[in-house]
Structure 1
Amino acid sequence: MGGSSQPLIAHTADKGGNALQGSAVTFTVTDDGGTGTTFTDGECSVDAYADAYGNASSPVLKTGHTPGLVTIVAVAGNAELIFYTLSVTSSV
């Protein structure tokens, strides 16, 4: 069984910087390195909704056993993309 991490957080706000409560954010795992990383439910793409502060949290990631790089993309509507790059290392 692979390791896990903390949820990723994407902040949603309008052009004035005001939090956008309820905004849908899609988090997508791109695992080109074949690490086996998914969200804990086994999915590679999930929707989350922003809280009163405009923060949307992904489920926890579950890493596989193969070392490599994983990219997670978060997008809300037609807003700018957020990229997270994680390095999966072998366990000791």
Structure 2
Amino acid sequence: MLNKKYFSIAEVTNLTGISQHKLRYIEKIDSNISVIKLRGRRYYTKKNIEHIQAQHSQHAARRDPLEDAGNMAARIDHLLQKFRDCYEAHAQLHAHAQTQT
């Protein structure tokens, strides 16, 4: 398959494992990638694919799993606090409704 000159976004996704959504995002933020757009479709060259894979590999290598876990714990704490706030507001509304009857 790599003896082709141009690859569709679906083919690049199959080759790299990077989602089409993420490929379009990378294309927007990385000026080194200039895809060919023809009749509303994107076509990538081998050079584009190699660049995308290199950038994606570097980014994946820099990610710290402990940092990801910390971010997840912070998000869980935030959601729990929002739940507690909603529960408290519901209890207050319920108590207020009981006094009105």
TM-score after normalising by structure 1 = 0.22
Name the structure with the higher strand share: 1
Name the structure with the higher helix share: 2
Higher relative contact order by CA 8 Å / sep ≥ 6: 1 or 2? 1
TM-score after normalising by structure 2 = 0.21
